[in-house]
C-alpha cells in the first residue's frame, strides 16, 4: 500500500519505498547537527546516527529544510550541504513556513522534526535531549513540549538537555500526559549524567517492551508522544558535580552577554564543551549514537 504524503514534504525515494513497504523508519532531528555540535564533527555524527539506525535494521530519515524545501530523508550530499552551511537556521515548528518562503536551509528541532515525521506516518524519532522548561525567570519554554503533547511519536532521548530545569520540565510532561519511560532505568536520565535522582513514570527493559508500551499508549488515543529515556553510555557519562559546576559558569556568561531565546541552548552547549575540556561533547556524541541504535531496535520491534 502506498503511504499518502503531503505535497509540501519532499521524501527521499528510499524512505518513500520503506514507508510503502511498512519497514521500520526512524526520523532524526537536525538542529543538533546545525546548532548543537561544532563543524565538522556534526556531519560525522549525522552520518554515524544514520549508520546506527541501519545497523539495528531500521531506515534512518534525517529531517531538515534545504533551500526552503522541507525534507524527510536526505542524500549524503544533502546532509553535507545542511551540516556545513554556516547560514543554516534553527527551525522550530513555528519557523517552518517562513523558512520555506525565504528559501533558507535549516536544522529542525524536535518540535519541527516530529511534526514532519508524523506527517509521513513515521512513529519513531531519535535525538539527544528534548527542549523543556528553562531555569530562571525568562519564561523560556521549548516548543518541543506542546508539539510532543499533540503528536504521536516515540521519542528516544537521554532526557531533557542538562541546561534545563528538570523538575519543572517533568511537571510539564505530566500535565500533558506524556509518559516518561526509563529505558533499563527508573532514574530519569539527565543528558550528560546517567541519572537525575528524579523518577520516571514507567520503565521498560527491552525494545519489545518499549514497542508494546508505544502500541498500548496509542491504542488509547492518537494524540501524545512517549519519551523513551536512555541514559548516556557509562563509559562516556559525566558526574553530576562536574556538569553543574560548568553549567553555572556558562549561565553566568550567557547572562552577562545577554544571550537569550533560541540562541541560548547552542551557546550553553558549546561553552559546556569548552569548560569540560571536550568531555561534555564526547558524552553528547556517545548518547546521540546510542539513542539512534536504540530507536532503530524499537522501530524493528514495532514494525
Determine, following the binding rule CB under 5 A, whether residue 52 of this chain makes contact with Mn ion: no
For residue 29, the partner it binds in ligand PSU, Mn ion, none, with Cβ less than 5 to 8 A by kind, is: ligand PSU
CB count within 10 Å of CB 182 equals 23
Instruction: For the CB of residue 143, give the shortest distance to ligand PSU in the complex, in Å.
Output: 6
Given CA atoms 164, 165, 171, 172 in this order, what sign does their dihedral have? negative
- Quick check: helix, strand or coil at residue 194? coil
Member of 63, 105, 127, 194 binding ligand PSU (CB under 6 A): 127
For residue 144, the partner it binds in Mn ion, ligand PSU, none, with Cβ less than 5 to 8 A by kind, is: ligand PSU
Contacts to ligand PSU from residues 263-302, by CB under 6 A: 265, 269, 284
Determine, following the binding rule CB under 6 A, whether residue 128 of this chain makes contact with ligand PSU: yes
Any alpha helices (H) in the chain, and if so which ranges? 13-20, 31, 41-55, 76-84, 96-102, 110-119, 144-149, 166-175, 207-219, 240-256, 264-275, 279-302
C-alpha separations of 251 from 100, 267, 275 in Å:
33, 9, 12
CA distance 51 to 47: 6
Instruction: For the CB of residue 264, give the shortest distance to Mn ion in the complex, in Å.
Output: 7
- Quick check: helix, strand or coil at residue 41? helix
52 included as an active-site residue: no
CA distance 213 to 182: 12
Q: Which residue, 144 or 187, is less far from ligand PSU as judged by CB? A: 144
Member of 29, 50, 52, 140 binding Mn ion (CB under 5 A): 140
DSSP 231: P
282 included as an active-site residue: no
Member of 24, 25, 27, 35 binding ligand PSU (CB under 6 A): 35
Active site residues: 29, 161
Residue ranges binding ligand PSU (CB under 6 A): 29, 31-32, 35-36, 92, 109-110, 127-131, 142-144, 161, 262, 265, 269, 284
Amino acid at each position: 500500500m502506498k503511504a499518502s504524503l503531503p505535497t509540501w514534504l519532499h521524501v527521499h525515494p528510499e524512505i518513500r519505498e520503506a514507508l510503502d513497504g511498512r519497514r521500520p523508519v526512524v526520523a532524526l532531528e537536525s538542529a543538533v547537527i546545525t546548532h548543537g555540535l561544532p563543524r565538522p564533527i556534526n556531519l560525522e555524527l549525522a552520518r554515524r546516527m544514520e549508520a546506527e539506525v541501519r545497523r539495528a535494521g531500521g531506515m534512518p530519515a534525517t529531517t531538515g529544510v534545504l533551500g526552503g524545501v522541507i525534507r524527510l530523508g536526505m542524500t549524503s550530499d544533502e546532509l553535507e550541504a545542511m551540516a556545513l552551511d554556516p547560514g543554516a537556521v534553527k527551525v522550530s515548528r513555528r519557523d517552518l513556513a517562513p523558512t520555506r518562503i525565504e528559501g533558507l536551509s535549516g536544522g529542525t528541532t524536535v518540535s519541527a522534526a516530529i511534526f514532519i515525521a508524523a506527517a509521513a506516518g513515521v512513529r519513531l524519532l531519535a535525538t539527544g535531549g528534548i527542549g523543556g522548561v528553562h531555569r530562571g525567570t525568562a519564561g523560556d519554554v521549548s516548543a518541543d513540549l506542546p508539539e510532543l503533547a499533540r503528536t504521536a511519536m516515540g521519542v528516544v532521548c537521554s532526557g531533557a538537555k542538562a541546561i534545563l530545569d528538570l523538575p519543572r520540565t517533568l511537571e510539564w510532561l505530566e500535565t500533558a500526559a506524556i509518559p516518561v519511560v526509563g529505558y533499563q532505568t527508573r532514574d530519569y536520565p539527565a543528558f550528560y549524567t546517567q541519572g537525575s535522582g528524579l523518577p520516571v513514570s514507567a520503565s521498560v527493559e527491552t525494545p519489545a517492551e518499549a514497542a508494546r508500551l508505544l502500541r498500548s499508549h496509542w491504542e488509547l488515543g492518537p494524540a501524545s508522544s512517549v519519551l523513551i529515556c536512555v541514559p548516556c553510555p557509562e563509559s562516556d557519562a559525566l558526574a553530576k558535580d562536574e556538569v553543574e559546576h560548568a553549567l553555572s559558569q556558562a549561565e553566568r556568561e550567557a547572562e552577562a552577554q545577554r544571550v537569550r531565546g533560541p540562541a541560548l541552548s547552542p551557546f550553553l552547549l558549546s561553552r559546556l564543551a569548552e569548560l569540560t575540556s571536550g568531555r561534555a561533547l564526547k558524552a553528547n556524541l556517545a548518547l546521540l549514537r546510542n539513542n539512534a541504535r536504540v530507536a532503530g531496535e524499537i522501530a524493528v520491534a514495532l514494525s
